Amino acid sequence: MSDPTLADLTYVTREDLSKTLLESDSAPSLPANLAIVDVRDSDHIGGHIRGSTWVPSSELDYKAPELVRTLKDKEVVVFHCVLSQQRGPSAALRYLREKKRLEGLEGKKGEEEGNGKEKGGKKEQKVLVLKGGFSEWQEKYGPDKRLTEAWQKDIWEFGY
């Protein structure tokens, strides 16, 4: 099987993501099965999606193995940057490729130990990209404290 490409990525709209967050039993916290990874760098100032994890794209190469292990039990992982045109999709691809690499290593280790692991019954993790990134998110949900933390209108009022 070949490595994932940009054509393989799936996007989620801000409306669908906000609906998932607001309808969760754990609202305003993230649902236990969901992770949101914000890969903005210095442009992280001015707010973020409530409960998201900040992993600057400049650190993603060496943090990817840890991120895959940390998020392994999540059913859905959403990546985004400010526009989700470059860093967000790139981060999702790096994550998927690292996940595939680590699963390959675990499979080899399991074969060597004679206990080949199966994914039996476990759902395949969905990796998504937030369409329009934080820029579009904050246009609609910036002031909504149930969905956005530390939002600063003066930083965003004239657009990105």
pLDDT in tens, 47-96: 999 999 999 999 999 999 999 999 999 999 999 999 999 999 999 999 99
Residue 54: inside a domain, yes or no? yes
List the one residue out of 70, 68, 74, 97 whose CA is nearest residue 9: 97
Distance (Å, rounded) from C-alpha 104 to C-alpha 128? 22
Residue 143: inside a domain, yes or no? yes
pLDDT in tens, 129-157: 999 999 999 999 999 999 999 999 998 88
Residue 35: inside a domain, yes or no? yes
3-state DSSP assignment of residue 17? helix
CATH code, 61: 3.40.250.10
Q: How confident is the model at residue 32 (pLDDT cuts 50, 70, 90)?
A: very high
Tokens 């959403």 correspond to 78
For the chain, the domain total comes to 1
Residue 138: inside a domain, yes or no? yes
Residue 155: inside a domain, yes or no? no
Distance (Å, rounded) from C-alpha 145 to C-alpha 50? 8
List the one residue out of 43, 32, 106 whose CA is nearest residue 75: 32
Query: What is the domain extent for residue 85?
Result: 6-112+121-149
Of the two residues 120 and 128, the one the predictor is more confident about is 128
How many other C-beta atoms can be found within 10 angstroms of the C-beta atom of residue 21? 22
User: Active-site positions?
Assistant: 81
Residue 157: inside a domain, yes or no? no
